[in-house]
Structure 1
């Protein structure tokens, strides 16, 4: 069997998920990966056969989406050319983790596909949304990567086609400890504003991961780290809690390990607003903006008792069996022995 897997490379979560799925997918046949996007910070842990600049998100220094920067880095003509060049009819199964180019290619070439990932969960009206619905954001979630079938991943099972998040095997097998520090990953927010707040809390040790850092170093109560998967995983495994955006993969893994989470959704990012709404239902601390009171909010969160709900880890073998058993218009088979 030939499998085409499209990965949206805006951020690191989609790439991390693909890395965890790859060993399981290989049991079904040959897997060719297409990476679409250009602003992730981790290396690929799988072979990439096709690449495109795709449609990537870019962020302002104040913690919001930069729509002008997104527009400047987007070429519709090139995306249509890339879609036409993908030989999807050669494949038995097309798996799309929220990539526009693959969705476009499937439509123009008459090829079926399944959208598999977190964004697919928003095809359900039962998946949490914020109190104020963003019509443009809702339209993007519903239509950006259209498919014949949807298999979603989320914190909880809000609908029958939604499964638990995929957690790295090293976290599932790890000895989880609490060494008291706070892990920080907020690349879309202004460094100077965060530093001013962290410096007001000398009793809290921060492990701060930043794309511009090349080598780890420590100043006072802050240890600075490069965006490195191994270093980040170790910090997360041993932390008391994490301050991060309202994405999906990192909060999911922190909640699986029963770590405290303080989530700061990126402004004007509707999916993150939806995730924040879901996390608030679970008892997670959500801070809507970083201001002069952020240090006070961190201190209160750090000292408060653990009340949030943990999440289960995805049984990848069972989820992929469901995907291949229900895949539209393709002959599927069980994993090879």
Structure 2
């Protein structure tokens, strides 16, 4: 069985989820080629599991100071190159294409009539209960950005045919954590704003991970460039996580019983919806801005929630490599019932 696995490289959530699933696919008797777009080769890390992956410009978005810039996003993407890459990508030799919301592989599969399995958070918005909350243009983005024939959405709780999240396995020291240790991962915010907001809060020890930072220290604030291994170590010792409202980091925090404090990316509807859902279900505290007062209040009132999900990556790898014959509905019921 030959599989092409396309991964959206914007942010680290898609890569983190795919990194976990790739480890299980490697244990199965299949050949998997990986394609990553939307990021380039700068700022990526821990990519060995993907082997000699293909890299494309793809489509991404532009952010400034914690907000999505729509006009700059439209103008910065090379739409002609995207169209050429879709046309040039030959997927006819693959039995199936997997897309973690990666548009080049998805559209190439659509053009060639090859089965395409869409994995990830975004596809959960196709479920009726979530779909009805979207505006018309949001619905079009969800359906057209990375189209697929078999959508497999992921959600924190049961919702239609969505399955539980793929979350990396953790060490025994991850659950709980020291009360005053906090991990901060706000890649779309200005790092200077983050440090200034945290600096007065010297009752806490912060580990800040950001793509624009290198290893440095400001008293009770330690700064790091993103690294899966380093992040896991600091995450395991922390009692709370402050992050944007992406799906994967929130899942990791909830799975390990860490208090979750989120600041959604302004103008990015998926993160806005994530924040609304998490707040409504009492799973996270939502920040409207990154400042000393709001962070202090969130830390003082924080509560942790522990959600147990099965090893979805292992079951998903088996499902895919067995030909994905079981319906997504039955797969969802089976996984939520474990």
Band of TM-score, shorter chain:
0.7 to 0.9
Q: Supply the distance in 1 between the matched residues of 2:248 and 2:44 (Cα, whole angstroms).
A: 14
What's the counterpart of residue 150 of structure 2?
A: 149
- The alpha carbon displacement at 1:177 in A equals 4.6
More off after superposition, 237-246 vs 196-205: 196-205
- The alpha carbon displacement at 1:310 in A equals 2.5
What's the counterpart of residue 165 of structure 2?
A: 165
- The alpha carbon displacement at 1:195 in A equals 2.7
Which residue, 313, 316, 319 being the options, matches 2:313? 316
Q: Supply the distance in 2 between the matched residues of 1:74 and 1:305 (Cα, whole angstroms).
A: 39
- The alpha carbon displacement at 1:59 in A equals 0.8
- Give me the TM-score of the superposition, normalised by structure 2: 0.87
| 5+ residue gaps, structure 1 | 329-337
> Cα 1:222–1:154, aligned 2, differ >3 Å: closer, same or farther?
same
- The alpha carbon displacement at 1:309 in A equals 5.3
What's the counterpart of residue 297 of structure 1?
A: 294
What's the counterpart of residue 334 of structure 1?
A: none
- The alpha carbon displacement at 1:91 in A equals 0.5
SS in 2 for 1:318: helix
SS in 2 for 1:197: helix
Q: Supply the distance in 1 between the matched residues of 2:280 and 2:52 (Cα, whole angstroms).
A: 38
Q: How does 1:229-268 map to 2 (within 5 A)?
A: 229-268=228-267
What's the counterpart of residue 87 of structure 1?
A: 90
User: Would you say the 8 A contact 1:12–1:41 is kept in 2?
Assistant: no
Q: Supply the distance in 1 between the matched residues of 2:238 and 2:251 (Cα, whole angstroms).
A: 15
What's the counterpart of residue 105 of structure 1?
A: 108
Q: Supply the distance in 1 between the matched residues of 2:246 and 2:77 (Cα, whole angstroms).
A: 22
* CA-atom RMSD in angstroms: 2.3
Aligned residues: 320
**Residues 246-294 of structure 1: CA distance to partner in whole angstroms, max 9, x if unpaired?**
0011110011000001010000101101111221133133435216xx3
- The alpha carbon displacement at 1:110 in A equals 1.9
Q: Is 1:52–2:53 an aligned residue pair?
A: no
More off after superposition, 195-204 vs 255-264: 195-204
User: Would you say the 8 A contact 1:42–1:229 is kept in 2?
Assistant: no
- Give me the TM-score of the superposition, normalised by structure 1: 0.87
Q: How does 1:93-132 map to 2 (within 5 A)?
A: 93-127=96-130
Q: How does 1:185-264 map to 2 (within 5 A)?
A: 185-215=185-215, 217-264=216-263
Q: Supply the distance in 1 between the matched residues of 2:132 and 2:227 (Cα, whole angstroms).
A: 32
Q: Is 1:181–2:181 an aligned residue pair?
A: yes
Q: Supply the distance in 2 between the matched residues of 1:89 and 1:173 (Cα, whole angstroms).
A: 44
Task: Could you list the structure 1 runs, at least 4 aligned residues long, displaced by more than 4 angstroms after superposition.
Answer: 172-175
What's the counterpart of residue 44 of structure 2?
A: 42
